[in-house]
Structure 1
Amino acid sequence: MDDDIERLRSLLLAMSEVDVEGVKYRELRAQLISELVRMRAEQDLLERLRSVQDQVERIGARDPDFNLKDFMDAGWE
């Protein structure tokens, strides 16, 4: 484990006065894991969105004269 992470873990445990053998420790551990999973999912989402953003950029600027209603109406004809 990285030294900084170990120091942060120790500090967090000391500040929260958690018995590492107790239920509160397990709850705290579960919360930390949950937060890491959330952050990872967010990072993955940003990575997935990057390719979509690249495609939009390649399409170019939006046509200011484009009328979505007319376009959709033409699709029904």
Structure 2
Amino acid sequence: MDDDVERLRSLLLAMSEVDVEAAEYLKLRAQLIFELVRMHAEQDLLERLRPIQDQVDRMGARDPDFDLKRFMDAGWE
């Protein structure tokens, strides 16, 4: 989380005297997390995969001579 946002969050909690251990706070927190997960799940799969595909593209072309088995075996020696 951005440092400024974290400081503002901490300040807001301190000023509002919110008991972060209270059941109401924990329930609200759980509801917010649930809603974020639900909204994320509604995103199109291709839209969610785009950042990963972009990273793979930036890695460049794959080495056709790379032997994954030999590489993994060498790691066990």
Does the pair score TM above 0.5? Answer: no
Larger Rg: 1
TM-score (norm 1): 0.43
